[in-house]
Amino acid sequence: MAKCPLCGAPLDWAELIEQMLALDGIEEILKDRDRFMEAFEGFVFKCPHCGEEFYGRNLPAKEAEKVFELLNEFKGSIDWENRKVRLRLNSLLALDTMLEQWDRKVTQKRP
């Protein structure tokens, strides 16, 4: 799970994405994986725990890609009027990781 690179506090992906919703043209950026990853890596996030700022490239890119997929997979994942993320991204990511591990276990057991 994503952690603040400065204080180590766990970060909420929904909150991180909400910080990005202030970007110009974010609605279009969120539809394009390459543009999203580029914007994400260069974006300056602010840790809600220690208040320090850091670039998105300090966070796990694999999780960011998964977040991109989740946001595009679910219709209405973002409440544009209130600039809020409706999905519980951290729970979904945790579930996804669990399923992947389970999948690996099952595959390994097969002869």
Least distance (Å) between residue 54 CB and Zn ion: 8
Pick the stretch among 20-28, 41-49, 65-73, 80-88 that binds Zn ion (CB under 5 A).
41-49
* Under rule CB under 5 A, residue 7 binds Zn ion: yes
Least distance (Å) between residue 41 CB and Zn ion: 18
Residue tagged 């595959």 (tokens): 107
* Under rule CB under 5 A, residue 47 binds Zn ion: yes
Q: How far is CA 33 from CA 7, 46, 65, in A?
A: 29, 23, 8
Angle formed at CA 39 by CA 36 and CA 45, multiple of 5 degrees: 120
Which helix (DSSP H) or strand (DSSP E) does residue 9 occupy? none
Nearer to Zn ion, 36 or 40 (CB): 40
Which helix (DSSP H) or strand (DSSP E) does residue 46 occupy? strand 44-46
* Under rule CB under 5 A, residue 1 binds Zn ion: no
* Under rule CB under 5 A, residue 4 binds Zn ion: yes
Residues 20/40, Cβ–Cβ less than 8 Å? yes
- φ and ψ of 17, to 5 deg: -65, -35
* Under rule CB under 5 A, residue 49 binds Zn ion: yes
Least distance (Å) between residue 5 CB and Zn ion: 8
* Under rule CB under 5 A, residue 50 binds Zn ion: yes
Least distance (Å) between residue 52 CB and Zn ion: 5
